[in-house]
């Protein structure tokens, strides 16, 4: 009966929103099929064609190349706008709802026929939000000295908590200066494999510690923080509505077929392909549970903020949409799927990630997305772009080193390594901000070649390809040759605190931030503190950290520290 009530509720919502545009037999008219969302490929060989496409405000995927861009058409109006643009295009998946049904069937068959998958967890099906929370708590309970879970400070707009997991030997002891590696999943609601791979890597590390020499060595040298689901609201809506409801369940409620069309066997409320978060109105924290209002739109299209355009580095630049439609900047305003929000870090989800990076020394980062089989690195805008404030984007200061690491990662998973802007302009991204604010080498993995959330067996296959790349990224983050080290003596138990300006350039100004992290000096009075360089990658002049030593609640010593990438700075903090 619970399933029946849930299905009945979904049908009522769909009927009220006009999403069930099918009339069954016996109603005196022919069936009228609604428009089904499609995945299409648009030929964009020239900058002019790419600009024309950007101006249409359609839902672009993360899959594009020098001569094409893939996107989702959610409505007949989307199709008509594209048809009227003069661009050449072809359909690659003609009915995403039918594809969703086929994938769900394939997933059910895979789960039924597979006792344990090759994944570290052995899982055979996509997780729900509750599954992620339960598994993180379970890992911490099973290995309490190795794993801890914690909740990020800011609840989502719909009132959900965002949970993270931290893994490392002696993880519950005070931070003593180890480097941190951060992995993020699911900024975009429909990209389910991005969370699956993040969670599976947590299982990989927990299972391997004490049994796999490589994993054990790494977790003795650094800590790993994983946030499988950044966009908890959007994912929950996408995932739960992505499982099709069999309308035959409703026969006991409507045996005559007068309300539920008998010609229709399944219902998808349409949120399986939701991209953004659940922001319904800028500056307004709507009542908890109101994210369901997205059901009145085609896949949330026109509502929400694209979280991967909401970060403070280059925020407001090309490839993101502002509040007001612009023909010259090629976007459709608030309704655009790339809407960047009212301000940098306007969204609780991105503020959570910002706080995470500003409170610890993260020397490496991967943010998982789908799809495109790509390893992307900063910057996310063309080097030729000049901001409204007169700053030229140029190449990242560490481009050569980041390209080398990106190449190593791509050789492991068979993806293509490239700068993000080679895909398309998309400024305001996670890895751009993490690098620009803190110096963290950050990469986006675009997992898979054809779909946002393909059959689960594909998730299993791609994790097998990405596992080695993830471990190489960890090794790079642990290697002091690629970051910086502060080393020296201080009184046992003293608190050392490191601060620096972490403001980043937006398109028309700056996004203020302060990096602040602390360690406790071990009992032997020596410390080794792995940090990023003191000078931000976009700074014109060398910058210094402010290092303070606190004992008995009082600051006893303050010093300024200049340290570059690959350098070890010896310090005497007598306090």
Catalytic residues: 446
CB atoms within 10 A of CB 441: 27
Which residues is 367 bridged to in the sheet? 184, 444
Question: 3-class SS at 552?
Answer: coil
Closest CA to 248 of 260, 233, 231, 236: 260
Give a three-class secondary structure readout of 164-226.
EEEECCCCCCCCCCCCEEEEECCCCCCCHHHHHHHHHHHHHHHHHCCCCHHHHHHHCCCEEEE
Closest CA to 415 of 382, 388, 376, 454: 376
Phi, psi of 81 (to 5 degrees): -65, -45
Burial of 86 (0-12, 13-18, 19+ CB in 10 A): exposed
Cα-based distances in Å from 455 to 74, 116, 465: 21, 16, 16
What is d(CA 380, CA 310) in angstroms, rounded to the nearest whole number?
13
What is d(CA 378, CA 368) in angstroms, rounded to the nearest whole number?
15
Q: What is the DSSP letter of 42?
A: E
Cis amide leading into 562 (omega within 30): no
The side-by-side arrangement of strands in the sheet containing 568-572 is 526-531, 484-489, 568-572
What is d(CA 339, CA 331) in angstroms, rounded to the nearest whole number?
9
């Amino acid at each position: 009966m619970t399933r029946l009530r849930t299905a009945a509720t979904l049908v009522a919502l769909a009927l009220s929103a006009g999403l069930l545009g099918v009339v069954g037999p016996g109603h005196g008219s022919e069936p009228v099929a609604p428009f089904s969302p499609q995945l299409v490929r648009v030929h964009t060989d020239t900058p002019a064609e790419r600009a024309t496409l950007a101006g249409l405000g359609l839902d672009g995927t993360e899959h594009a190349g020098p001569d094409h861009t893939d996107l989702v058409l959610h409505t007949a109006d989307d199709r008509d706008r594209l048809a009227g643009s003069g661009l050449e295009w072809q359909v690659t998946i003609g009915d995403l709802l039918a594809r969703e049904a086929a994938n769900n069937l394939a997933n059910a068959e895979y789960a039924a026929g597979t006792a344990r998958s090759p994944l570290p967890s052995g899982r055979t099906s996509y997780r729900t939000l509750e599954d992620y929370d339960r598994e993180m708590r379970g890992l911490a309970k099973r290995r309490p000295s190795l794993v801890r879970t914690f909740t990020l400070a800011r609840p989502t707009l719909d009132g959900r908590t965002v949970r993270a997991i931290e893994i490392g030997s002696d993880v519950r002891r005070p931070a003593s200066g180890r480097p941190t590696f951060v992995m993020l999943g699911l900024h975009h609601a429909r990209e389910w494999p991005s969370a699956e791979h993040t969670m599976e890597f947590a299982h990989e590390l927990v299972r391997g510690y004490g049994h796999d020499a490589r994993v054990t060595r790494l977790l003795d040298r650094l800590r790993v923080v994983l946030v499988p689901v950044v966009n908890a609201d959007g994912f929950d809506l996408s995932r739960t509505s992505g499982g099709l409801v069999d309308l035959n369940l409703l026969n006991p409620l409507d045996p005559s077929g007068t309300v539920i069309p008998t010609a229709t066997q399944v219902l998808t409320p349409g949120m399986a392909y939701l991209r953004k978060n659940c922001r319904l109105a800028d500056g307004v924290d709507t009542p908890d549970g109101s994210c369901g209002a997205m059901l009145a739109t085609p896949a949330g299209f026109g509502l929400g903020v694209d979280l991967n355009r909401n970060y403070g580095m280059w925020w407001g630049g090309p490839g993101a949409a502002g509040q007001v439609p612009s023909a010259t900047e090629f976007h459709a305003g608030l309704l655009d799927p790339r809407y960047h929000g009212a301000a940098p870090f306007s969204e609780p989800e991105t503020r959570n990630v910002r706080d995470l990076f500003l409170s610890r020394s993260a020397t490496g980062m991967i943010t998982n997305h789908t799809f495109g089989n790509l390893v992307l690195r900063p910057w996310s805008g063309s080097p030729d772009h000049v901001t409204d404030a007169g700053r030229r984007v140029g190449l990242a200061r560490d481009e050569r080193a980041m390209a080398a690491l990106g190449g190593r990662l791509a050789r492991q998973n068979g993806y293509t390594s490239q700068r993000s802007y080679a895909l398309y302009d998309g400024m305001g991204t996670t890895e751009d901000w993490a690098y620009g604010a803190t110096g963290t080498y950050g990469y986006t993995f675009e997992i898979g070649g054809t779909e946002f959330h393909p059959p689960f067996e594909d998730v299993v296959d791609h994790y097998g390809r990405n596992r080695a790349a993830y471990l190489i990224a960890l090794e790079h983050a642990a290697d002091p040759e690629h970051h910086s080290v502060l080393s020296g003596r201080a009184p046992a138990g003293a608190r050392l605190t490191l601060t620096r300006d972490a403001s980043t350039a937006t398109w028309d100004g700056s996004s203020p931030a302060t990096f602040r992290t602390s360690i406790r000096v071990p009992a032997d009075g020596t410390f080794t503190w792995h940090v990023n360089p003191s000078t931000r990658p976009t700074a014109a002049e060398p910058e210094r950290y402010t290092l303070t030593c606190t004992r008995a609640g009082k600051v006893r010593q303050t010093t300024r520290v200049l340290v570059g990438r690959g350098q070890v700075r010896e310090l005497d903090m007598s306090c």
